[in-house]
Amino acid sequence: MKKRFIYADNAATTAVSDEVISAVMHCMKNVYGNPSSLYDRGTEAQRLLINSRERIAGCIGALPNEIYFTSGGSESDNWAIKGAAHAQEKKGKKHIITSQFEHHAVLRSCESLEKQGFEVTYLPVYKNGIVQPKDVANAIRPDTALVTIMYANNEIGTIQPIEEIAAICHDKGIWFHTDAVQAVGHININVHEQHIDMLSLSGHKFHAPKGIGLLYIRRGIAIPNLIDGGAQERGKRAGTENLPYIVGLATAIESACRDIEQKNEKTAALRDRLTEKVLKIDRSYYNGDARQRLAGNANYCFEGIEGEGLLLRLNLDGISASSGSACTSGSLDPSHVLLSLGVPKEVAQGSLRITIDENFTEDDIDYMADRITNTVAYLRGFSHTWDTVQNEEKYPGK
């Protein structure tokens, strides 16, 4: 009998949709000219590049000339943070504000700048996984160059009060960047109305291919070039444009942003159905705010087991899930995100992230809940710590 397969790790990456594959293949076969060339094949490619930029800009409320294509979220985060820091350094501003549970592309960029003499303030996120706007306001100093706060957390899915934080920065004249890799295509975003100065996104989080993303840079924000060379991307990032993937990105983001509210309503109901069943497991915990989170994100901890064993056993049942960020899957250390919430290390080691979408069925949800419940019980039966854990005071959770 064929093993059942349920892909529940959409926060790590998504399958490229048939619609996107068709658009990419059409471009590869028929619009293969260099957009910088002056003959017909080149001008045809240039028109398609312009059209794609316009379509993408419209989905996030930007102007087309504020869109700069990159290879993905990590590149965009690095460019925004390091670029803003070095641009503002000339004005004597060498202070950056971020949060403790950012993606490593943000945290490592900040750490790199610290080695260059910049000072970074890492704001707490509390047990609900939400950055408080008042903490941002209190951390701002005369020499603050940039505030960078993620739109939605990649592990626990909590949605940050971006509009409030951006407004504080706007009023203080501080540049504001958000890593929106997990948010775009899942939340309605308008960068102009929300006073966002820079925004990073990555196409493979909403059914575009891996290797294509962008950095939105508000008109009037000047940061150093990422790659010097030709005039592509208005001279900011040289290199012949990856037109097929850009077309795929445009197709994917339009599809993702279409009927977001209806898709989220269905997805959230499925997520809550799963959570209700999973939390019946003794000493299980739900990480992050229960409501202010992405519709498809559910993150749990189970005492007395390790997440790696849980994932391997679920994989045998055809369920693909994760214990945290795919970017740190080789690490044996517990999630820095969960530790920032105050989750004890021994509890954080037994974490599970399930990320679903509107295409799941109630049967899929019930199957996952059943397998998770049985697998946790199975693993606890072999755990030398479970008997001890049961006699200890229960972790209070959030």
Tell me the three state secondary structure of residue 226: coil
Instruction: Note if 27 is an active site residue.
Output: no
Measured over the CA atoms of residue 38, residue 41, residue 42 and residue 44, the dihedral's sign is: positive
Biggest distance spanned by C-alpha atoms of the chain: 77
Residues paired with residue 32 on neighbouring β-strands, in sequence order: none
Helix or strand holding residue 86 (H, E): helix 73-89
Q: Are 131 and 150 within 8 A, CB to CB?
A: no
Written as one letter, the residue type at 249 is L
Tokens of 286: 């739900």
Residues contacting 64, CB < 8 A, separation 6+: 50, 53, 54, 57
* H or E element that contains 391: none
Give CA–CA dist 11/310, Å, rounded.
18
Provide CB contacts within 8 A for 7, sequence distance 6+.
15, 320
Tell me the residue type at 109: S
Comparing C-alpha atoms, which of 83, 68, 74 is closest to residue 219?
A: 68
Cα angle value 328/371/303 (rounded, 5°) = 60
- 3-state SS, residue 95: strand
**Contacts of residue 3, Cβ cutoff 8 Å, sequence gap at least 6:** 317, 318
Q: Which of 110, 257, 301, 327 is catalytic?
A: 327
- Which structure tokens are listed for 205? 């989080």
Burial of 358 per CB tally in 10 Å (0-12, 13-18, 19+):
middle
Q: Do the beta carbons of residue 130 and residue 150 sit within 8 Å?
A: no
Active-site residue list: 327
